[in-house]
Amino acid sequence: MIDPTWLRDTVARAIAEDIGPGDITTLACIDESAQAQGTFFARQELTLSGAAVLPVVYSLQGGVQSLELLVQDGARLTPGTPLAKVRGPARTLLTCERVALNFLQRLSGVATLASKYVDAVKGTKTRILDTRKTTPGLRLLEKAAAAAGGVTNHRLGLYDAVLIKNNHISAAGGVRQAFERAQRIAATSGVPIEVEVRTRAELDEALACGATRMLLDNLTPAEAREWITYIDGRASTELSGGITLETVRAYAEAGPDYISVGAITHSATAVDLNFRLELL
């Protein structure tokens, strides 16, 4: 899913932001000939994501002698677990430390929160979805992190699926008008169509138009169960709107096919990782 050129450009921007014309502290304190080994450790329970960023970070700073990824994205780690070892010029390892950690901590934070939501609905038929509420410029990495946590990726952007929301319905003049226009696009591109409905009248209109996927927003678990029972398999159902770790199980037990959670990307907390360096 992640284009190597895009990834390299993204990491290069992060390096330029942090290092600029040079790491003056490391250049002043560390001999050019010094060699070192560094190890990345988990300092809390977490689900890993972002390991593929590490070789790109180091390659953009002249490379290292060796980089060993000890676990893969999606692995669940306990405190003290090493996740990668790197050996090379001490200056390179020190200069790259923060950029590498920033990517790993942020992306593993997303994966860790994603895995908690997935765990919370185990035993139900519901699949957790992510959303487009991502950090600008980092969407592909954050979507990959959500997938590493077991989440199913929703649309990547505005180009790969039609999602008719309440403002589209208002601007188009109604559910039928919006849906019929969207069908013309879907007929040529093959993209799926999903309709957000706010009332039972809109739900009935969408079903009458032939909509096969419904987004039910801002319902209580009891309301969600009632609406899903009413739909009775005529369309797949997705719930969204303020669903938290504390409430997601109750919503899943209402019987939706999907629950989308923006918090997985927009509110994930960076995990605690450590980088330990020793001179050789």
Structure tokens at 91: 């200056």
DSSP state of 253: T
Amino acid at 114: A
DSSP state of 38: E
Q: Which of 93, 28, 18, 94 is nearest to 63 (CA)?
A: 93
Structure tokens at 204: 């009935």
Contact (CB, 8 A) for 218 and 242: yes
Contact (CB, 8 A) for 145 and 47: no
What positions carry a catalytic annotation? 98, 133, 165, 196, 217
Kindly provide the residue ranges of all beta strands, DSSP E only, lying in the chain, ordered along the sequence.
35-42, 46-47, 66-69, 76-77, 82-89, 127-129, 162-164, 193-197, 213-217, 236-240, 258-260, 273-279
Q: Which of 257, 276, 266 is nearest to 128 (CA)?
A: 257
